[in-house]
Every structure is written in C-alpha cells, then in structure tokens.
Amino acid sequence: MRQTLHITDALAVGYTVIHRQPFILLFSIGLSVYLWLGSAITLAMPFSYNQSVAAQWIGTLHAVDARTLLVVTNSIPILAPGLDAVVPPPPALPVMEFAGVVMILNVITLALSSWFLVSLRQIILRERLPWQTVLRRTLNVALRLSIVFVLIGCVIAPIGGLSLLTMLLMPATTTLIYYGWIVLVIAGLIGFGFTPEIITLSDERPLQALYQSWQFARQRWLAITTFLAICTVIEVGFAQLWRSLATQPGWLAPAIIGNACIGSGIRAARLQFYRYHAATLLPA
C-alpha cells in the first residue's frame, strides 16, 4: 500500500536535497548577487514628457528595472532589492533597446532555470548523467517551457487588452476587474502552475504538460491549494526577513544564502510533491 505524502514530507525531501547537494544554491546566489550588485536597467522617457507625471504613470524606478522583468521566465528563487536598497545608478535605455534587454535577460534566465530544474531532478532521482545528456535535457526543457509561455501569453494578452479597454471606457469597473485578475492568477497558478515540474520530470510536450497540470489540479485541488499556500507563506515571509537583513551592513551575503536555501528547498519540494501525486492520478 502506497504511503500518504504529507506536505511536511515534501518540504522535508526538498530541504534534504539542498543538504545533499548544496551546489544547487549557486543558481539562486548568482542571480541575487547580480540583482544587488549590478546596475538597474531602466526605460528612458522622452524629454518632452513631464518627468514627474511619467514617474507617476510608470510607477517607481524599481518597477521598470528590466532585470526585475526576468520573473516572467524565472524558476530560480531570487532575493530582489527593495525600494530602499542602495544599488548602482541605472543606465536609461530607449524603448527598443530596453525591450531587447528584457528579451535577452529572459532567454538567459529561461536557460538557467531549465538547468536548475534538471539539476534538481537529477538529485531527487539520484541520476548520474554525462554532461551531454544534461545539456540536451536542459535545452529540451527550455524549448518546451518557452512554448508554454508563448501559449499562455496568447491567452493572457487579449484578456489584458480587453480589461484595459473596459477600464478606460468604464472606470467604475476598475476595482471589479482588479479582483477578477487576482482570481484569474490564483486559478492559473493552481491549474497550470505545475507545468514546469511536469515537463522536467515527465518530458511531456507543452500542450500535454498543460493538460496534465489541469488534470492534476482537478483531482488534487485541495492538496495543491494547501501546499502552494504554505510554500508561499514560507517563501514570502522569509523573503521579507532576508530583504530587511540584506540592507544592514555586512549582512548581504548571509541574507542571499538564506534566501537561496529556503527558495531552492521549496522548488525541490514542488518536484517531489508532483512526483508522488502523479503516480496516484486517475486516467483522464
């Protein structure tokens, strides 16, 4: 009889993986160091614009840092600087150059994230593979994840455009649309959030991985919701602690390492969580 996997068991396996192969932390540490010690990359506004108005329209300077937009394709836990963090002065780029930098950063991050996930798979499954196999598997995961992001973007973009148009024509609907997007994002994370894990562990094609993630959520929605909620509380809660600690003199390195340990353990736990439940799913 198959033993039940509790959420604490999945988390325990995740942090055991980190303890067994601490080199996996280098992915998170490297990206976090780049975010803290590298220069922000921002969008230059036309000189004809009123800068104060432009700043209000765009948000904060940190919000348009091209490096923060790598979260689109990133699966590696990172500790991003807060608004009060002291970072090198940012170069301001024209619109096209800014868009190009965002694309390049996301391609690099996607490749690193795929390597990170494949490395976690190797540790969890105790695989010993030649570097050629690891490289081939990493490229395969990166390609399939990129297709998934394109498919999701093709669905999200029209909805986002319709939402924006509705808010412009009927401003009274702004609050309703805002909460609607929150519900949509949460539902998407529950329904399709395990697609990267499915591609990594099962080598499924993009559409099949999305479908399997939906079937997984349909049959295990309560377990998934509970697991993701606990992981989010742990990661977000500790991230606030690490970010506060990082701004103190001499504490940047311990904060980045601590965040890498917590976040990487949760990523490994997600793989173990799906690996266990995948064997118990009923056929569609």
18 in Cβ contact with 265 (< 8 Å): yes
Confidence (pTM): 0.85
Tell me which residue of 112, 120, 121 sits closest to 139, measured CA to CA: 112
What SS3 class is residue 51? helix
> Do 144 and 206 touch, CB atoms closer than 8 A?
yes
pLDDT at 70: 65
Helix or strand holding residue 132 (H, E) = helix 131-169
Look at residue 14 in the predicted model and tell me its pLDDT: 85
Query: Within the chain, which residues score under 50 in pLDDT?
Result: 1, 47-62
Residue 42: strand, helix, or coil = strand
Domains of the chain by residue range: 7-278
pLDDT at res. 134? 93
Residue 262's pLDDT is 93
| pLDDT score at 81 | 80
For 90, which DSSP code? P
Q: What is the pLDDT of residue 17?
A: 84
- Give pLDDT, residue 50: 47
Burial (CB count <10 Å: 0-12, 13-18, 19+), residue 251: middle
CA-based end-to-end distance of the chain? 23
CA of residue 138 relative to chain centroid, distance: 17
- Give the rounded distance of the alpha carbon of 194 from its chain centre: 12
